[in-house]
A = this chain, B = another copy of it.
Amino acid sequence: MEHADLLPRDAAVQLIDADGATVVDEQYAMPGADTLLAAYRGLVEGRRINDQASALVRQGRLAVYPSSHGQEACQIGAALAMSDDDWLFPTYRDSVAVIARGVAPAEAMVLLKGDWHSGYDVREHHVAPQATPLATQLLHAVGFAYAAKQRGEDTVVIALCGDGATSEGDFHEAMNFAAVFHVPVVFFVQNNGFAISVPLSRQTAAPSLAHKAIGYGMPGRRVDGNDVAAVLAVLGEAVDRARAAGGPTLVEAHTYRMQAHTNADDDTRYRERAEVQAWVARDPLARLRAHLSDIGALTAELEAEYAAGAERIAAAMREALNTDTDIDPEDLFRFVTETRSPQLEEQWQMLRGEVERTRAAETGATAQATPGGAR
């Protein structure tokens, strides 16, 4: 049938099965051992970051953390599939991918700590701010890629979203604009089975999310999202196509959100423990460890080295987050617009007065709890 190349296969692409065994695929080659080792290191670090961040929430050092525990193969796969000049458009759940792209963990956590709305220099790292309003960032990715294409740059953009986000109108508009304008974007949907409490079955009646691609005239692909080798291969193909001016691709990864939506969520209300338990056996780390051990690439020394590296990252996170940052209240006004208006200056002035009175009161040893408390 015509256009069949746009349709995903019935089964997700897998290169390493849940036991670590190689799966031979006619279309997608197994990445080399070095690549897989680098990916494994990323998975170890990513898992450690997830678990450290969750611990920091329990200790009250982070306001909230949407963990990607269980989705690390997607996170690391996305980060490694990109070149240095490529751009990532992540969501709130993609802190591990953001960090894997080079952002310091403490900077990646600024949003979740509550210090500011975003904490890293997006231009330095080529990582857009983590988006909260669902699917909105997909359009930004399209526009960004459009500008790059117009300038003749060979930048590729990877835009991340979840299964739930595919239901939003912005998802549709982003896919369509990308296809019509033929821009170098890879849409990477991490289908982790849930949008907070809502299961995939309530999100779509389609054979798969990747089947949406043909409706835009772009290729759709399904990949085992817990198999980093497959993720790298499928994203790699899509990134190559984009870079070669072949247009956008929609890639759906089948994975699972192993923890609650965030620490504030109680997932016992809406899913069986047995379901969660069943996914433990498909853990992305375990299978890659098994595979790399089987092929003799992962030695005990390397394993120890990776663990130590991950531990260092975790220690740095703890240190950074256990220190209270001094946030200047005047930042509320500093960045609203580049042009300063008398209207805002007037309000800023009022705040400045309150801040000064509060500081004076504090240093005057009559510290008060409320701002402007020097009344």
> A34 an interface residue at 8 Å Cβ cutoff?
no
How close is A142's CB to chain B, nearest CB, in angstroms? 13
Give which listed residue, B4, B171, B203, B216, contacts A180 with CB less than 8 A: B203
Give which listed residue, B182, B203, B211, contacts A214 with CB less than 8 A: B211
A214 touches B216 (CB 8 A): no
Interface of chain A, helix or strand or loop or mixed? helix
> A10 an interface residue at 8 Å Cβ cutoff?
yes
Q: A217 vs B182: C-alpha distance in the bound complex, in angstroms?
A: 25
> A303 an interface residue at 8 Å Cβ cutoff?
no
> A296 an interface residue at 8 Å Cβ cutoff?
no
A214-B217 contact given A169-B168, A180-B204, CB 8 Å threshold: no
Q: CB-nearest residue of chain B relative to A6?
A: B207
> A176 an interface residue at 8 Å Cβ cutoff?
yes
Q: CB-nearest residue of chain B relative to A135?
A: B169
- Tell me the residues in window 215-254 of chain A with beta carbons closer than 8 Å to chain B beta carbons: 215-218, 247
Q: CB-nearest residue of chain B relative to A215?
A: B212
Question: Of residues A169, A180, A205, which shows the largest number of chain B Cβ atoms within 10 Å of its Cβ?
Answer: A205
Q: CB-nearest residue of chain B relative to A179?
A: B205
A169 touches B167 (CB 8 A): no
Given contacts A182-B205, A206-B215, A207-B217, 16 further A-B contacts (CB under 8 A): A1-B1, A1-B4, A3-B207, A6-B207, A168-B169, A171-B172, A179-B206, A180-B202, A180-B205, A204-B216, A206-B216, A206-B217, A211-B217, A212-B212, A212-B215, A212-B216
Give per-residue flags for A128-157: 1 if the beta carbon is below 8 A from chain B beta carbons, else 0. 000000000000000000000000000000
Q: A348 vs B80: C-alpha distance in the bound complex, in angstroms?
A: 65
A206-B214 contact given A1-B4, A1-B7, A171-B172, CB 8 Å threshold: yes
> A170 an interface residue at 8 Å Cβ cutoff?
yes
Across-interface contacts of A205 in B (CB, < 8 A): 179-180, 182, 216-218, 247
A179-B204 contact given A1-B7, A173-B169, A214-B215, CB 8 Å threshold: yes
A10-B2 contact given A206-B179, A206-B217, A212-B215, CB 8 Å threshold: yes
B173 touches A170 (CB 8 A): no
Q: A4 vs B1: C-alpha distance in the bound complex, in angstroms?
A: 9
Q: A213 vs B216: C-alpha distance in the bound complex, in angstroms?
A: 11
A211 touches B169 (CB 8 A): no
Give per-residue flags for A1-42: 1 if the beta carbon is below 8 A from chain B beta carbons, else 0. 111101100100000000000000000000000000000000
How close is A166's CB to chain B, nearest CB, in angstroms? 9
Q: A7 vs B170: C-alpha distance in the bound complex, in angstroms?
A: 24
How close is A163's CB to chain B, nearest CB, in angstroms? 12
Q: CB-nearest residue of chain B relative to A248?
A: B205
Q: A217 vs B212: C-alpha distance in the bound complex, in angstroms?
A: 9
A sample of 21 cross-chain residue pairs with beta-carbon separation below 8 angstroms, ordered by A number, consists of A1-B1, A1-B4, A2-B10, A3-B207, A3-B211, A168-B169, A169-B172, A180-B202, A180-B203, A180-B205, A204-B216, A204-B217, A205-B216, A205-B217, A206-B214, A206-B216, A206-B217, A207-B217, A211-B214, A213-B215, A214-B215
How close is A145's CB to chain B, nearest CB, in angstroms? 15
Q: CB-nearest residue of chain B relative to A205?
A: B217
How close is A135's CB to chain B, nearest CB, in angstroms? 9
